Amino acid sequence: MKYILNLSLSILLYMPCSWLNAQNPTIINIGDHMCSWCYGFATEISELKEALPEYDFKMVLGGLRPGGTETNEDLADFLAHHWKDVEKRTGQPVNYDVLKDSTRVYDTEPACRAVVVVRSMKPMSNWQQALI
């Protein structure tokens, strides 16, 4: 947890901060697109965004497992147990079929990079793309 917190703070320090001077108050959502809990609470974050139209929402991408080398063979039991907890507590459906591919490497960096590319190509879709 300390590693993730340090990484998130580092990202905040290095990212462009022009939005800090924005007219509207800003809510910053720090997450990772392969984080189970980030996925689980996507509905609540979307509802919060709708309920507070006067707020700007910004996504800061974290690094749950950047450069990860573990495969589903290594993590399947852990992930299945974890995902069941997320599914039970949040009501978000989870597709466990992805765990059947034992060669899939659990590296979150490509997903975060993909969102950065989408953000640069189509900035207005950033929030919705980030919650997929």
Is 22 a member of any domain?
A: no
Digitized pLDDT (tens) for each residue of the chain, 132 residues in all: 333 443 444 444 444 555 555 567 888 888 887 888 888 888 888 888 888 888 888 878 777 777 788 888 888 899 999 899 999 999 999 999 989 998 988 888 888 888 778 878 876 654 544 443
- The model carries a pTM of 0.66
Is 45 a member of any domain?
A: yes
Is 118 a member of any domain?
A: yes
Query: How many structural domains does the chain have?
Result: 1
Is 12 a member of any domain?
A: no
Instruction: Determine the pLDDT at residue 50.
Output: 86
Is 2 a member of any domain?
A: no
CA 31 distance to own-chain centroid: 4
Instruction: Determine the pLDDT at residue 132.
Output: 38
Phi and psi based region of residue 26 (left: phi greater than 0; alpha: psi -120 to 50; beta: remaining): beta
Is 103 a member of any domain?
A: yes
User: Could you list the residue range(s) of the whole structural domain that residue 89 is in?
Assistant: 33-130
SS3 of 17, please? Answer: coil
Instruction: Determine the pLDDT at residue 20.
Output: 54
